[in-house]
A and B are shown apart, each in its own frame.
Chain A
Amino acid sequence: MRTALAPNPAISPATDPAMTTTEPAAASQMPGRATAPAYVSIEGVGKSYGSRHGAVHALAGIDLEVREGEFLSILGPSGCGKSTLLKCIGGLERVTKGSLAVRGQPLSGPPAKAGMVFQRDVLLDWRTILDNVLITAEFLGQSREALKPRALQLLQRFGLSGFENRHPWELSGGMRQRASICRALLCDPELLLMDEPFGALDAMTRDDLNLELARIWQDTRKTVVFVTHGIAEAIFLSDRVVMMDRNPGRIVEVMEIDLPRPRTLAMRETPEFGRYVAHIRHLFAGLGILKEG
């Protein structure tokens, strides 16, 4: 019973040991629900960092296709190479093995029309919130003035009206992260890379931002690669969840999330949602990452 599809309700994943031995190759060969073309193609990618203590194999043998317009989450324990994989996709790190293409073009440097949200908001203290959002336009060589209305609209959408002229240090952590999402969205990227954007936030703010992100995705159908530690968050947001293990960082399973859209917070109480959570828990428990009581 090797599957990359939604867990079969007939077989409880928690009692099916075969589930935990799903191999990445098998997972990625399974036909997906969506048939959209690949936006990002990752083939046999490995990434090693040289260090004083010898080479660190942050990634090894990564095969993955990110389909156009899909919301893909990467879930895995700390140090399994999630950030590294995201940076490789963003052209911010060179891969040491394999190949990586965006829209069929082999990657050399950051792809066009990509936006990134970092784990820490990296807002610039010397700029106001509005100017922080507009910096994307400046970097891309687009007109600040032309994009100002869009920036204000984004800030409003994320509940930051009235804070345009404040400086980052005058805002709460949640507000800062929202501003950094506005910054990434300003020039309408096709590919949005998000590295645990809500990792440092409290549960309520996190729910709130998850909903907003789901809505934005629903409206714009960007290709999103979303790194997270949160199982529920990954299921709630995603079309597919990629599960990784460490040493070396590798994909252990890719799972389709077959929940209807638009998603609502109430869905998290449904048995289907619960089955996905149980399946992922079981998988990570089998890998010795989650200890089950």
Chain B
Amino acid sequence: MRSTLHEIASVLGVIAAAMVLWEIGVWILKPPPIILPAPSVIFAEFLQAPSYFLRQTAYTIYTTLAGFGLAAVLGLVLAIGIVHSRLLEKTVYTLLVALNSVPKVALAPLFVIWMGTGIEPKIAIALMLALFSVVIDAVLGLRSVDPDMLNLARISRASQFAILRKIRLPNALPSIFAGLKVAISFALVGAIVGEFVAGSEGLGFAILTAQGQFDTPRVFVCLLLLGLLGTVLFYLVEGAERISLPWHVSQRGHASGH
């Protein structure tokens, strides 16, 4: 617990130092405010309408988490199917890999045509961007099982389901979490892209509106909020990982002593 607080404190310290340098830099170099406003100006902008910014942030959080959650569940189910079925491996997996080589962001307008301008296409884009890394890492994790672990289960005539639940899944958890950590960042990207393409809410939409008005401080408020959001979401997944994997080599240093 102390090490976690320590970590948070040091991250905040680095950010604060960067802000101070930025403030001093702007103060000395005096760039036009439309190019680069000082942090103090950005904070003032935020304080003018905090509820507006927080509402946009909440919308983006909702879209991101919905896309991420769906991607996690769907990705895991797909991965389990792919690992157990040659047919699914040949079809779904091949298709996913092919789809992944298309710049998926380019598909965003298509989703708007299909689903309209509500929240659904944004969730769908977040889901699409996040899905791939969940599936790839989960498949990798589910496959890389020590053959003797499987032999151990088979000599006791374990069912496929028992092998999945008691061996493959726990064994794959570290890999699954690696995928989820990438996926949460992609889900956020997807949410913003969705708001860019057709939106009336969210941080992506707020950035686009501010851009229309050449309101650089407002763009920066949104960017900083996005940075904060991305960081918090990432650490939430990492926190979940620490709670679920106290046994893993990478976590043993953090485990509380006996």
Contact = CB atoms under 8 A, between A and B. Distances in A.
Chain A interface, >50% SS class: loop
Interface in A103-135: 109-110, 112, 114-116, 118, 120, 122, 124-126, 135
Interface of B: 146, 148-149, 151-158, 162, 166-167, 170-171, 173, 245, 247-249, 252
A132 B45 CA distance: 58
A122 B247 contact: no
A11 to B, nearest CB: 42
Given A122-B146, A122-B148, A122-B149, A116 B155 contact: yes
A114 B155 contact: yes
A87 B148 CA distance: 10
Interface in A87-112: 87, 90-92, 109-110, 112
A139 B162 contact: yes
B152 A122 contact: yes
B155 to A, nearest CB: 4
A167 interface: yes
A136 interface: yes
A139 B157 contact: yes
Interface of A: 87, 90-92, 109-110, 112, 114-116, 118, 120, 122, 124-126, 135-136, 138-140, 167, 169, 187, 193
A139 B156 contact: yes
B158 A139 contact: yes
B57 to A, nearest CB: 37
A110 B171 CA distance: 23
A245 to B, nearest CB: 25
Nearest to B169: A126
A138 B165 CA distance: 11
A126 B152 contact: no
A87 B156 CA distance: 13
Contact of A140 (B149, B151, B156, B248): B156
A123 B149 CA distance: 8
B151 A136 contact: no
18 contacts: A87-B151, A90-B151, A90-B155, A92-B154, A109-B157, A110-B156, A116-B151, A118-B152, A122-B148, A124-B170, A124-B171, A126-B170, A135-B156, A139-B156, A139-B157, A167-B247, A169-B247, A169-B252
